[in-house]
Amino acid sequence: MKPIELPPGTDATLFTGVPPAAYGAWLASMLEKSPGPWVILGPNMGALEALAQDFRAHQTLTHAKNPLQPYFFPEAAQEDALPKQRFEIDCDRLTALSKLLEISSKAWSTTPCILFSTPAAVVGACPTTQTLGTKKITLLKGKSIDFESLKVSLNTDLGYDHEVLCEAPGQYAIRGGLIDIYPPNADRPYRVDLFGNEIESIRPFDPSTQRSSGNSISQLTLAPLLYSANSVQTAAFWNYLKGPVRWVVPWSTTLAMEAPKHLKAPTTIDLPYATLKDLIDARSTDQRDAWYGLTELDTGESGLFGKTAARVELTFESLEPYRPGVHTDLGLERMEIEREQRERFLNQVLQWQQSGHKVIFACNNKGELKRLQEYLEENPKLNALLKADFSQVNLREGFRVYWGQEPCPLSWSFLEGFIGFVVLTDAEIFGRYRNTVPKQKRRSEAQHKAVDQLLDFSELVDGDHLVHLQHGICRYRGLQDINVRGSRETVISLEFEDSVLLHLPLHESHLVTRYVGFQKASPRLAKLGGNTWEKTKRAAEKASFDFAAKLLQVQAQRADEPGFAFSEDYPWQQ
């Protein structure tokens, strides 16, 4: 097996002298200078999610005018993956592919987009562009739609589920002239408000509170819900790339060792699966892509970039040699050692600042930011560091870059007039390290209180009466396991009038509450699909408004009466 290399003539550059701590800053700077589609290839999604977190943090640090949302394109889910995990992966893939289709209809080379993926994902099979493109629906503010046709399309063409509350991707709910939709290619659900057949507004809303939040948007694209397990996957990822792409390979010298299956190929036989060579060959025929590699040391084994790629040496460095270390000592001795090392580290930062470096402190929260500023104020020798910039952002690790009289390797205008740039975190200063970052939720999820989310089934017996939010009074018939889209799922069986059973997914148990009655007689079961329960809810709603009106009237009468002014408290009362 021979390592795959970019062919001669490829626009390829290997940047050396860039430690992993500076990858996010390099990306943020390059995307600001060169907009367009960028694809970042890493060994696994965990490393890429951490890099994306750093990328977002540096956009915040540098006050980017138009911060970019990172997109993720993971490898298709394995057969043994849990249903929820498989669904999240499918949604991530659909979101990324839908974004590429969207920018293919715009000015490709100038539309900014950043996508994080792995070699296994970009050479794997995908839905065809025709399948994804022809089935999608675009809703435009101010345009008219056929309401009934839209309801049918959401269910039959797009594969969305009609629910009482729209809380998860692939669901929709209808309430009068409102349609709540959660597209699998979006990070939150949206509420479409209709005036007749005209779309009056499209607003995001919180799936937990079901309240509108955020500004109205003018366009919403609804992608079909395509499950990788039961949809046709015959296209390649590069079929979605309609123009030049900038490929970035962080960890370029070690990627082939961590993902050898798709970065090595024999020279005499054909493999039964695709490798990165297939992607490179397909792209080199009609597109002029650019490839960038990042590595701290050029060991000569540069993977994809071989010996023909151009080399650019940068002068980034990690702060690890300077920052305080970790000690196993206990008590006052340890505290004294940490204090000395912290002051030595901050004195070094002060020297950099005085020599012409731009210094930024990145703190995880307001408490750490205040603590750091107080610490600098209490040390007269370090007071000058208070002139540095302080930002509340979750950055994993800091770095330093020095350019002296040479051109600055970062394209940010605020670095003009400086000879270097230093970013450091509160964790490095106070001796705590965040080697990993929590996985960022890419979609809003409904958060229910434990008492609302699940009934205590240990206290329920067969035949107990419950109330379903949409359908009314029913009878509990136990928990069952049934097949749903090829996988086993636990459901709550509810009996309605005429012995009609409704199987409610366990994650929707918050829609069911205990029946509380004031009579000894058993309540009458509601008819599934009838309108009696709706009439009952409207009557209860009207009674609630009447009671609220009475409360307001009482309060108004109280406010109209003169009050009684008590004397000030005596000292002993205070």
Q: Is the pLDDT of residue 256 over 80?
A: no
Report whether pLDDT(52) > 90. Answer: yes
**Among 82-96, 100-114, 255-269, 479-493, where is mean pLDDT lowest?**
255-269
Q: Inform me whether the pLDDT recorded for 339 exceeds 90.
A: no
CATH number of 2-125+231-314: 3.40.50.300
pLDDT at 208: 82
State the DSSP code for 524: P
Least confident of 193-202, 454-463, 487-496: 454-463
* Per-residue model confidence (pLDDT) at position 439: 59
137-222 placed in CATH 2.60.40.10: no
In order of 251, 316, 358, 396, the CA distances from 297 in angstroms are 10, 11, 25, 21
* Residue 22 clears pLDDT 90, i.e. is over it: yes
Return d(Cα 287, Cα 208) in angstroms, integer: 45
The residues of the chain that CATH labels 2.40.10.170 are 450-532
pLDDT per residue as tens digits for the range 261-314: 888 777 667 776 788 888 888 887 667 899 999 999 877 666 788 878 899 999
pLDDT at 144: 92
Q: What is the pLDDT of residues 358-378, one digit of tens each?
A: 999 999 889 989 999 999 999
The 3-class SS string of 346-414 reads: HHHHHHHHHHCEEEEEEECCHHHHHHHHHHHHHCHHHHHHHHCEEEECCCCCCEEEECCCCCCCCCCHH
Where do the CATH 3.30.2060.10 domains begin and end in the chain? 137-222
- Residue range 224-246, pLDDT digits in tens: 987 655 566 778 899 999 899 99
Q: What is the pLDDT of residues 493-543, one digit of tens each?
A: 999 999 999 998 887 888 888 888 877 788 999 998 888 898 988 898 899
Answer yes or no: is pLDDT of 3 > 60: yes
| Nearest-5° Cα angle at 430, 427 to 432 | 45
CATH number of 450-532: 2.40.10.170
Q: What pLDDT is attached to residue 452?
A: 46
Residue 449 has pLDDT above 60, yes or no: no
**Percent of the chain residues past pLDDT 70, beyond the cut:** 91
Which pLDDT belongs to residue 561?
86
Residue 110: what pLDDT? 87
Nearest 5°: CA angle at 400, between 395 and 406? 135
Query: Which residues are CB-contacts of 418 (< 8 A; sequence separation ≥ 6)?
Result: 356, 357, 358, 408
Q: Which residues of the chain are in CATH 3.40.50.300 domains?
A: 2-125+231-314
- From the list 508, 493, 361, the residue with the least C-alpha distance to 421 is 361
pLDDT at 212: 86
The whole-chain average pLDDT of the chain stands at: 86
The structure's pTM equals: 0.78
Q: Which string of b and e fits 471-509 if b means at least 16 CB within 10 Å?
A: bbbbbbbeeeeeeeeeeeeebbbbbbbeeeebebeebbb
What is the tens place of the pLDDT at every residue in 157-174? Answer: 898 988 888 888 999 998
Whether the pLDDT of residue 327 is over 70: the answer is no
In this prediction, residue 228 carries a pLDDT of 58
Banded pLDDT at 450 (limits 50, 70, 90): very low
The one-letter code for the residue type at 292 is Y
* pLDDT of 435 above 60: no
Contact status, residue 295 vs residue 14, Cβ threshold 8 Å: yes
In the prediction, which pLDDT does 106 show?
Answer: 81
Specify the range with the lowest mean pLDDT, choosing from 35-49, 92-106, 451-465, 552-566: 451-465
Is 223 in contact with 98 (CB distance < 8 Å)?
Answer: yes
Residue 451 has pLDDT above 60, yes or no: no
Question: What was the pLDDT predicted at 250?
Answer: 92
